[in-house]
Amino acid sequence: MSAKSRKRGNARFFFIFFTFLLGFLAIIIRLINVQAVEAKRYESLAKKQRLKSIEIAPKRGNIYDCRGNILATNIDATTVYANPYLVRDPENTASQLSSILMLDEKTLLEKLKKDSGFVYIARKVDESTAERVKALKIEGIGFLRESKRCYPYDELAAHTIGFAGVDNEGLTGLEIFYDDVLRGIPGHLIVEKDPMGRSISTGVSNLLPSIDGKNIDLTIDRDLQFKAEVELNRCIEKFEAKAGNVIVMRPNTGEILAIANYPHFNLNEYSKADFACFRNRAITDSFEPGSTIKMVIGAAALEEGIFQPKDVFRLPDEIKIADRIITESHKRPTENFTFTDIITQSSNVGAVVVGQKLKKERICNYLSVFGFGQKTGVDFPGEAQGYIPSPEKWSGSTIGNIPFGQGMSATSLQVLQSFSIIANDGLLVKPYLLSRVVDLNGKIIKQTKPKQGEKILSLKTAEQMKQILEKATIEGTGKNAQVQGYRVAGKTGTSQKPRKDGKGYEKGKYVASFVGFAPVGNPQLAIIVVIDEPKGSIYGGSVAAPVFKNLAEFGLRHLKIPPSEN
């Protein structure tokens, strides 16, 4: 071999050697890059490809009444989903599914043509519908088991309980107010999946369990609630009223036993109801309370020592205040009225005379301490605070309407709370709906204990007012509220509805109400009945008082409260 060819051979050798060397170096650099420098990125990419995180939805807590009756719970429902990549004939599939699921075919087709591996077709459908879809055996259509909120009593206490949405999140009522307690914490299951997306049972599996929501017990009594709704509906039908509400409360503790509202709706079919039906008007809507406010004016005058129950007034049937003439609801000659009569006979002129003596500052002060113009603090979302004009905003005629409940507004709950002060010997209690929070093991996590109320009135004034209000049901405007065997106290209210533009009152539109408690000796039930725009009769005494009577009669018997001694 010549030196030249040897040299060429060497060069070839070195060329191949260095080429291989470079190749290996490139591979080593790439390896270092993949396995060291960018290791984390590739690891996460690999994990993303292999591992699947499945959210485990927690079970929403149940809602019970005060006797352990279930008001809201969960049942299993089937969700239909699709993997558009696997659906072979989207047009035909959309056509088949739309007829069973009652969905728009066009929307369904759009979903089935999406560039995605998962789309919801229908959430939480009933069993029979799901079975019909399953029977079609369409490739690419899958089923998921999900938990659906269920309300066994449909319409019962619908406004108070509220409802939860399709993702089990509270939307209205106590379902939203106690959502953080009821909802629970979702868990996660990380599983290894095969190329077809199926879980590998022996593969990586990491479970972070979900924490189910806690159960809550309410102060609501199912049977009283039912009776309240029945009586309210009957009254609404009889007087062809527009709306109405009833609250039943224990005056000494503030426990709300029932809240009935009309119009009502079915909690299991809330999507079919009108949005306006969802309002718990007893708490979220305010109205001009009318003559029921005379109780506050009377109590203030007695507490201040301005008048005594037997003081006599000579009252005409109308009185001029600034540019307004205040009249009685019925024409009558000028008569003698005792202070008691002014309340029992619900004299507007008398209330104005008492109001004039009290003066605006004291009236505002007493209305405020009785809880008007501020929220009661009840555990319910969207509570209205009502309105009382501050003394500086009073016009010359304001003293001629506030003493009988015009020119101010209050919620039914506020009015009931104020009457509970009289029933509760002058103590103000805060109304509440949640009795306790219980975990899944039955352990009580939180219990609402009625707070010792704030002293608003002296015992003497409270006793005097009890007697006056009792007299109102014996010989006054509230005779229809009498319950056989029990001493009942209460006050009627009939108020005109203010115009929406704030200029005067609507002609022929009234709100009839009655508020009272029983038995007078040891008040165990305080009830308010408010009927919006009754037709035929418009007075609280004839429209609302009978509802009170029927409800109190049932409630006292239901709570095993013995009849009064005399």
Q: For residues 478 and 545, is the Cβ–Cβ distance under 8 A?
A: yes
Task: Please pick, from the candidates 51, 66, 70, 306, the single residue that binds other proteins as defined by CB under 8 A.
Answer: 70
Nearer to other proteins, 184 or 371 (CB): 184
Q: Tell me how far apart the alpha carbons of residues 280 and 220 are, in angstroms, rounded to a whole number.
A: 14
153 binds other proteins (CB under 8 A): yes
Quick count: other Cβ atoms within 10 Å of Cβ 436?
Answer: 18
Residues 6+ apart with CB under 8 A from 58: 183, 184, 185, 186, 187, 210, 211, 212, 213
Distance between CA atoms of 436 and 185, rounded to whole angstroms?
A: 20
Applying the rule CB under 8 A, the residues between 155 and 194 that interact with other proteins are 156
Q: Applying CB under 8 A, does 226 fall inside the site for other proteins?
A: yes
Residue 273 CB, shortest distance to other proteins, in Å, is 18
Distance of CA 284 to the CA centre of its chain: 9
The Cα 498–Cα 401 span in angstroms is: 13
Candidate list 5, 128, 202, 566; residue touching other proteins; CB under 8 A = 202
CA 394 – CA 402 distance, rounded (Å): 10
**563 near other proteins, rule: CB under 8 A:** yes
Q: Which two tokens stand for residue 171?
A: 């939307």
Q: Which of 9, 152, 186, 377 contacts other proteins by CB under 8 A? A: 152
- Token readout for 332 is 């009558």
How many chain residues touch other proteins (CB under 8 A)? 25
Q: Nearest to residue 490, comparing CAs of 285, 294, 300?
A: 294
Angstrom distance (rounded) from CA 280 to CA 177: 13
- State yes or no: residue 222 binds other proteins (CB under 8 A): yes
Task: Report the C-alpha gap between 475 and 489 in whole angstroms.
Answer: 11
Torsion of CA 42, 47, 49, 50, to 10 degrees: 140
Is-contact 450 429, C-beta < 8 A?
yes
Our finding on whether 223 is near other proteins (CB under 8 A) is: yes
Nearer to other proteins, 71 or 315 (CB): 71
Closest to other proteins by CB, 206 vs 327, is 206
Positions annotated as catalytic residues are 291
The yes or no reply on residue 74 touching other proteins (CB under 8 A) is yes
Determine, following the binding rule CB under 8 A, whether residue 262 of this chain makes contact with other proteins.
Answer: no
Q: Which of 38, 55, 76, 131 binds other proteins (CB under 8 A)?
A: 76
Task: Give yes or no for a contact between 174 and 186, defined as CB atoms under 8 angstroms apart.
Answer: no
Q: Which of 50, 69, 279, 324 binds other proteins (CB under 8 A)?
A: 69
Binding mask 461-500 for other proteins (x = CB under 8 A): -----------------------xx---------------
Nearer to other proteins, 114 or 557 (CB): 557
Which is closer to other proteins, CB of 74 or CB of 482? 74
Tell me if 73 contacts other proteins by CB under 8 A: yes
Query: Residue 76 or 180: which CB sits closer to other proteins?
Result: 76
d(CA 75, CA 526): 36
* By the rule CB under 8 A, 557 interacts with other proteins: yes
Residue numbers at the binding site for other proteins (CB under 8 A): 67, 69-70, 73-76, 145, 150, 152-153, 156, 201-202, 222-223, 226-227, 230, 484-485, 553, 557, 562-563
